[in-house]
Amino acid sequence: MFKIVVANWKMYPTLSDSVVLAASYKKALDSLAGVEVVIAPPIIWLPTIVESYHHRSHHIHFAAQNVWPEDQGAYTGEVSAYLVKDLVSYAIVGHSERRQYAAETNDLIGEKIHACLRWQIKPIVCIGETEPVLDKNDHLTEPQWGKLRTQLLAAFEGVAKERFSRITVAYEPIWAIGSQNPATAHYTEAVIKQLRRALADKHGESAAPEVRFLYGGSVGVSNASSYLRSPEIAGLLVGSVSLKAKEFIEICEQASQLRAT
């Protein structure tokens, strides 16, 4: 399986910025084999960008940055999984910025995950703790661990085991996002192992290996390979650096060279 690199453009690029960025990506990434790239533009530019990638390679995908769980209805300002299903193959769900600024709960995020699965969209579910509290045994300690575990298990609540592999978990420690203070690969691996253990304890040993875990939080050209080298880490969710075409492309190139076997 190839490594996956997600570009989360957040609410940054204007239409013209997005078109230029997408064109720079396309030129370099179309011919780059051995990596899965997922681009998440602001929802308003999504159709334009998808259209500009009309003839694209199969390893390039699009994502919504968020979805609403109901299919259609009186939900002013929202965009449902149902409405974007023909434009994207992924959706970012439960990003910490949505949990913080839009007060999204684990229950609402769970509904969004179900909506994605209903419409063949693969959810990328973001989870993360607010403080780095790894002890000497490489375990996250309470209460941070308790909250993180709850976020993880809520994402799989009511999901049939055979669909677990469609859910990707983006482990994004909140203290590391946009902070210039990324979690180390060692820290990330330790937490992902703890998360897999929690998944196995709840759903059986066969459940945990099915799920891909990405890392996100201040990823850049200089630290990307440390995560990509780890067999525990299936790829990266890149925020601010994804707005710099040259650097993002370099990360994708590293991922293609360090492809998972």
Give 259: exposed, middle or buried? Use CB within 10 Å, 0-12, 13-18, 19+.
middle
Write down the least CB distance from residue 124 to ligand PGA, Å. Answer: 10
Tokens of 178: 């946009």
Q: Which is nearer to ligand PGA, 110 or 216 (CB)?
A: 216
Tell me which of 36, 59, 95, 129 is the catalytic residue: 95
> Which residue, 147 or 202, has its beta carbon nearer to ligand PGA?
147
Where is 222: in which H helix or E strand? none
The nearest distance, CB 204 to ligand PGA, in angstroms, is: 30
For 49, the token pair is 């960008």
Q: Which residue lies nearer to ligand PGA by CB, 34 or 220?
A: 220
> Cβ-closest residue to ligand PGA?
239
The full 3-state SS of 228-241, as one line of letters, equals: HCCCCCCEEEECHH
Catalytic residue (one of 104, 129, 172, 189): 172
Q: How far is the CB of 44 from ligand PGA (least distance, A)?
A: 19
Alpha helices in the chain, H assignment, sequence order? 15-29, 46-52, 81-84, 96-101, 106-118, 144-156, 185-203, 224-228, 245-257
Distance of alpha carbon 118 from alpha carbon 95, whole angstroms: 20
**Nearer to ligand PGA among residue 104 and residue 172 (C-beta):** 172
Q: Which residue has the tokens 């049939």?
A: 160
- Residue 48's closest CA among 76, 93, 9? 9
Shortest separation between residue 259's beta carbon and ligand PGA, angstroms? 22
> Do residues 24 and 9 make contact, with C-beta atoms less than 8 angstroms apart?
no
Q: Which stretches of the chain bind ligand PGA, using CB under 6 A?
A: 8, 172, 177-178, 216-219, 237-241
Residue 179: CB atoms within 10 A of its CB come to: 11
Nearer to ligand PGA, 80 or 218 (CB): 218
Q: In 3-state terms, what secondary structure has residue 54? A: coil
Residue 95 appears among annotated catalytic residues: yes
Does the annotation count 58 as an active-site position? no
> Considering beta carbons, is residue 45 or 175 the nearer one to ligand PGA?
175
Q: How far is the CB of 73 from ligand PGA (least distance, A)?
A: 29
Residue 162 Rama label (left phi>0; alpha psi -120 to 50; beta): alpha
Minimum distance of ligand PGA from residue 158's CB (angstroms): 26
Q: Which residues are tagged catalytic?
A: 95, 172
